[in-house]
Amino acid sequence: MIDLYLSLHPVVQGVLKGLAVIMVIFPIGGICSMAERKVSAWIQGRPGPNRAIVPWVSWIPVIGPFLQRLGLFHVLADGGKMLFKEDALPGHVNKFYFVLAPVVAMMPALTTVTTVPFGAYLDAAGRVVPLALANVDIGLIAVFAVGSLGVYSLILAGWASNSKYPFLGGVRASAQLISYELSLTLSVLPVFLWINAPGTPGTMSLSRAVEFQSLPGFWGGMWFVFLMPVSALVFLVALFAETNRHPFDMAEGEADLVGGFHTEYGAFKWGLFFVAEYAHMLIGSGVFTLLFLGGWNPLPWVSLATLVSWLAPLHPLLAHPLFVGVLSIGIFLGKVIALIFFFMWVRWTVPRFRYDQVMDIGWRKLLPLSVANLVFYAAAIAVIQTR
Amino acid sequence: MGTGQILFNAFVLLTVVSAAGVVLNRNAVNAALCLLMALVGVSGLFVALDAYLLAFLLLLVYAGAVVALFLFIIMLLDARGDSRPVLHRLPLAARVIATGLVLGGVASFLMRGRLPEGRAATTAVGAALKPYAHQLFTTYLLPVQVLGFLLLIAMIGVIALSRRPDGPEDAA
């Protein structure tokens, strides 16, 4: 099986790897939309979706009803509904851009995955090797660059719909995303000032950031969220704004804009916008985990290599690269899913900002804070890291 | 022709066709989106030339932010783009001179432009972060500073010009 895979053309290998990751990301996007419904129900003290069930699962005595109450099969029901609903195309829209917009929404979300490392394994020499589709030197710049193209789906959807509310949503989205991109980029600079210590080759790689959080010692094993709390806070707030999540979902704003940019959309095109939103959240949470939450390290001050050295004496299979790889992916995904739960928790707890408040927070509070943070860490790092 | 050469040609075609689209489109939104495609094409060219950093910086700054701002302004002003009064009133002489300047520029580039021999073998400065930053802070320090200063002047100018003379900025 592995020999057959390795004998294939590199391009075919790349396509297969890409498809594998997309096949994980796309369903997670769908499951997140389900989780959102369930989490909102728990927060508001309702049972939430608890009806859909596949016939032969309902025959299982205890587990069947439990899964039904958990609402797990609503993912299938929702997906099927969106896929088979009549896909109406309003007569007043610009058809080309109208159809293009949901596709444009998906493309950056799935392209950025290539440069985000999602796990690691230990090779024969005991070195930690990150798992990623393309572990490039400029990892974070690539994520930001391609991710920033996501705004065009909102602008195009708003403009092509050719009606007032979507148009306002599109205008809001373009202004908001540009405003918060500045703080987002500035907030991660201290991290890269720190990991580009004198004498090391310059890098913007995300796996290098994780390496720096798995060093021995008190300062070495410290996650950057403790070392640079302000950076983490600014990054998280800007991430909420960039992924158009509550309390920053100005482009949607159903209280004042009906549905914002997607008012005129229905069926699967509408569904694509939502899968794309969750895919963006997934990538954003992944980057946050890698930069500030130690990536695939299980606990602060406990790196993956340390964990494996604890597990290895128990059973030889526990130190196998395959097991370690799966374990590290599990740890990473666990942190990402916890962050996505945090996104949902905030959405159902905090009221939405007004648009002037969004601009005020972005330009007058977050941007000065991130600049001051950068200057502080630049000075501190210059003192600590001497040549 | 290798895969790299095919990709390079494809990106050249994309860039040229979309750049023509920017100029020829009457609809401002279409033109801005053609500009976006042209920028994506140019960043593809950078990738084909192994200048990965430049490719992604171009995407981040121009495709991600500048064109989005263009679209924001176009949508805010709701420019239809179908009436072009300024261009119609241009005197014939101005058109001839402008065309001549463009043609002269292209011609002089074609006649005198020469690629220095043996430069292609050296690794591209724009490929990785460190060599690029090193060049920026040594060889090109003065141009970077001058450009930064120019942008600052432009920004202050815009703020000074767009400020309303009196009264609160936005009472609403």
Helix (H) or strand (E) holding A131: strand A128-131
* E strand segments, A134-271: none
CB contact under 8 A, A171 and B72: yes
What is the least distance, in Å, from the CA of A115 to any CA of chain B?
12
When CB atoms are compared, the residue of B71, B75, B129 closest to A203 is: B129
Q: What is the pLDDT of residues A26-47, one digit of tens each?
A: 788 878 888 888 888 989 988 8
Lowest mean pLDDT among A214-223, A258-267, B73-82: B73-82
- Which residues of chain A lie closer than 8 angstroms to B57, CB-CB? 141, 145
Percent of chain A with pLDDT over 70: 98
Q: What is the pLDDT of residues B130-163, one digit of tens each?
A: 778 888 888 889 999 999 999 999 999 988 888 7
| Minimum CA–CA partner of B3 in chain A | A11
Give the span between the Cα atoms of B59 and A108, in whole angstroms: 12
Computed over its alpha carbons, how large is the radius of gyration of chain A?
22
What is the least distance, in Å, from the CA of A96 to any CA of chain B?
11
- DSSP-derived 3-state class of residue A24: helix
Residues 6 or more apart whose Cβ sits within 8 Å of residue A102: A153, A157, A265, A269, A270, A272, A273, A276
Question: 10 Å Cβ neighbour count for B17?
Answer: 13
CB contact under 8 A, B59 and A178: no
- Which residues of chain A lie closer than 8 angstroms to B53, CB-CB? 138, 141
Asked, for residue B55, whether it belongs to a domain, the answer is yes
Asked, for residue B62, whether it belongs to a domain, the answer is yes
Interface with chain A: mutation pick from B129, B132, B169, B170, highest number of A CBs within 10 Å: B129
Give the span between the Cα atoms of A305 and A295, in whole angstroms: 13
Give the span between the Cα atoms of A155 and A244, in whole angstroms: 13
* Domain boundary, last residue among B19, B53, B82: B82
Q: What is the pLDDT of residues A88-106, one digit of tens each?
A: 888 888 888 888 888 888 8
Asked, for residue B122, whether it belongs to a domain, the answer is no
- Which residues of chain B lie closer than 8 angstroms to A151, CB-CB? 64, 68
| Minimum CA–CA partner of A202 in chain B | B130
CB contact under 8 A, B65 and A170: no
B143 in reach of chain A (CB within 8 A): no
pLDDT of residue A371: 92
What is the least distance, in Å, from the CA of B39 to any CA of chain A?
12
Indicate whether B166 pLDDT > 70.
Answer: no
* Domain of residue B62, residue span: 1-82
Residue A366 carries which DSSP code? Answer: I
pLDDT of residue B79: 56
Task: Give the residue, A239 or A253, on which the prediction is more confident.
Answer: A239
Mean pLDDT of chain A: 83
- Split at pLDDT 50, 70, 90, the class of B80 is low
- Split at pLDDT 50, 70, 90, the class of B121 is very low
Residues 6 or more apart whose Cβ sits within 8 Å of residue A108: A146, A147, A148, A149, A150, A280
CB contact under 8 A, B64 and A151: yes
- With helix as H, strand as E and coil as C, how does chain B read? CCHHHHHHHHHHHHHHHHHHHHHHCCCHHHHHHHHHHHHHHHHHHHHHCCCHHHHHHHHHHHHHHHHHHHHHHHHHHCCCCCCCHHHHCCCHHHHHHHHHHHHHHHHHHHHHCCCCCCCCCCCCHHHCHHHHHHHHHCCCHHHHHHHHHHHHHHHHHHHHHHCCCCCCCCCC
pLDDT of residue B172: 44
What is the least distance, in Å, from the CA of B72 to any CA of chain A?
6
Asked, for residue B44, whether it belongs to a domain, the answer is yes
Give the span between the Cα atoms of A254 and A328, in whole angstroms: 39
Interface with chain A: mutation pick from B60, B61, B74, highest number of A CBs within 10 Å: B60
Indicate whether B118 pLDDT > 80.
Answer: no
- Does the model's pTM come out above 0.90? no
| Minimum CA–CA partner of B74 in chain A | A171
Indicate whether B77 pLDDT > 70.
Answer: yes
- Which residues of chain A lie closer than 8 angstroms to B63, CB-CB? 145, 148-149
When CB atoms are compared, the residue of A138, A145, A149 closest to B129 is: A138
Asked, for residue B24, whether it belongs to a domain, the answer is yes
On whether both B3 and B65 belong to a single domain, the answer is: yes
Lowest mean pLDDT among A299-313, A329-343, B97-111: A299-313
Write the CATH number for B69: 1.20.120.1200
**Overall domain count for chain B:** 2
Residue A302 carries which DSSP code? Answer: B
Question: 10 Å Cβ neighbour count for A380?
Answer: 14
Give the span between the Cα atoms of A123 and A320, in whole angstroms: 9
Residues 6 or more apart whose Cβ sits within 8 Å of residue B42: B11, B15, B58
- Which residues of chain B lie closer than 8 angstroms to A156, CB-CB? 33
Q: Torsion angle of alpha carbons A103, A109, A110, A116, nearest 10°?
A: 170
Q: What is the pLDDT of residues A141-191, one digit of tens each?
A: 888 888 888 888 888 888 888 888 888 888 888 888 888 888 888 898 888
CB contact under 8 A, B75 and A170: yes
- DSSP-derived 3-state class of residue A157: helix
* Domain boundary, last residue among B52, B82, B112: B82
When CB atoms are compared, the residue of A146, A148, A159 closest to B75 is: A159
When CB atoms are compared, the residue of B52, B60, B128 closest to A202 is: B128
CB contact under 8 A, A137 and B75: no
On whether both B65 and B138 belong to a single domain, the answer is: no
Q: Residue A306 has which token pair?
A: 């340390």
CB contact under 8 A, B57 and A141: yes
Q: Residue A265 has which token pair?
A: 């959309």
On whether both B11 and B69 belong to a single domain, the answer is: yes
* Domain boundary, last residue among B20, B52, B82: B82
- Which residues of chain A lie closer than 8 angstroms to B36, CB-CB? 152
Indicate whether B124 pLDDT > 70.
Answer: no
CB contact under 8 A, B75 and A174: yes
When CB atoms are compared, the residue of B63, B75, B129 closest to A149 is: B63
Give the span between the Cα atoms of A249 and A355, in whole angstroms: 10
Each domain of chain A, given as residue ranges in start order, spans 90-384
Q: Which residues of A touch B (CB under 8 A)?
A: 136-138, 141-142, 144-146, 148-149, 151-152, 155-156, 158-159, 167, 170-171, 174-175, 177-178, 181, 201-204
On whether both B133 and B78 belong to a single domain, the answer is: no
Residue A201 carries which DSSP code? Answer: P
When CB atoms are compared, the residue of A137, A148, A201 closest to B64 is: A148
